[in-house]
Amino acid sequence: MPVELPQWLKDLRRSEIVDRVRHDPRSAGGTFLGVDFEVAVHEVIGGGQAEFDQPRNDLSADDRVLLYAYFNQLGHLEELAEAFRMLFADASRPESPIVVDLGCGPFTGGLAIATKLGHESRLDYIGVDRSRAMRELGEKLASAAAELDQTPRIDRHWSPDISSVTWDSAPGWRPVFVIVSYLLASPTLDAGELIGELEGLLAKLGRGPVTVLYTNSPRPEPNRSYPSFRTALLDAGFELSDEDTGSIEIERWTGSRNRRLRYALFHRRNQDILRLGEE
């Protein structure tokens, strides 16, 4: 079955992203906020790795992030929605999960998981992104989604980096899902350091089961940090469940087509064994 996003999400994207780009007076003459397709994709968005908070010529940080959501976010949403469908098909739907979305962009992982949990569910979403404009568009999409009454109740916690995440609840046993969608493409990211910081956050959240979902482009360069990411997770007690380069069939208004991606899935069970003698 091809992946197709639910109507509420298509409508949300249309009103909050697509129409805002298309109806902007600068988009006259077939441009996107005044820039042509090649410039938008390669220079303004920079393959998703731009310094989004820096204005560029006549484009503000908010404009750059809006163009990211317009061009790049949809494919990532489709991939993650399919990954959660497969995850929840094997197991029952998780109760009150905590979602940690690293390099979250505009709430991409939150929208994806919301497509697979009913409106009676609730979850906490921790969105970490160094870009203020990404976090702000994320919160805008999250609050617009909440108005629709079709998504789970999602309590949002936004942060520019992992170490500044504030978590006031006592550590518990809730299942945690960590999403790493197209973050590792960033050439400056130190994957070992990232997992070290993640471990600190996971310890604050509790000792419940943790699932890490990695998605990326199938090209080799954006995956250059994957081997050290994988090693750091294995050293932190995770087991690799699956890793591959594959494709999913997606259904869009233009018809169906295949989208290729690189993905990996890691699990760590409840940490309910007291290891005597360990520091």
Ligand X SMILES: C[S@@+](CC[C@H](N)C(=O)[O-])C[C@H]1O[C@@H](n2cnc3c(N)ncnc32)[C@H](O)[C@@H]1O
Nearer to ligand X by C-beta: 17 or 183? 183
Nearer to ligand X by C-beta: 94 or 103? 103
Residue 163: HSE in the Cβ half-sphere, 13 Å Cα cutoff: 4
One-letter amino acid identity for 222? P
From CA 20, how far away is CA 13, in angstroms rounded? 10
From CA 27, how far away is CA 257, in angstroms rounded? 27
Least distance (Å) from ligand X to the CB of residue 273?
32
Q: Using the Cα atoms of residue 48, residue 51, residue 52 and residue 56 in order, give the sign of their dihedral.
A: negative
Least distance (Å) from ligand X to the CB of residue 279?
29
Nearer to ligand X by C-beta: 54 or 231? 54
Least distance (Å) from ligand X to the CB of residue 274?
34
Nearer to ligand X by C-beta: 98 or 111? 111
Nearer to ligand X by C-beta: 32 or 52? 52
Q: Provide the binding-site residues for ligand X, judged by CB under 6 A.
A: 48, 52, 73, 76, 103-105, 108, 128-131, 134, 161, 181-183, 185-186, 189
**What are residue 72's phi and psi, to 5 degrees?**
-105, -30
Nearer to ligand X by C-beta: 97 or 103? 103
Least distance (Å) from ligand X to the CB of residue 109?
6
80 touches 109 (CB < 8 A): yes
Tokens matching residue 279: 């520091």
Nearer to ligand X by C-beta: 78 or 207? 78
Q: Comparing C-alpha atoms, which of 105, 211, 235 is closest to residue 158?
A: 105
Nearer to ligand X by C-beta: 106 or 207? 106
189 touches 161 (CB < 8 A): no
From CA 245, how far away is CA 247, in angstroms rounded? 7
Least distance (Å) from ligand X to the CB of residue 120?
27
DSSP assignment letter at 89: H
CA angle 91, 174, 266 (to 5 degrees): 55
Least distance (Å) from ligand X to the CB of residue 52?
5
95 touches 124 (CB < 8 A): no
Least distance (Å) from ligand X to the CB of residue 159?
9
Least distance (Å) from ligand X to the CB of residue 71?
11
Q: Comparing C-alpha atoms, which of 151, 96, 150 is closest to residue 124?
A: 96
229 touches 191 (CB < 8 A): yes
**Which helix or strand (DSSP H or E) is residue 19 part of?**
helix 19-22
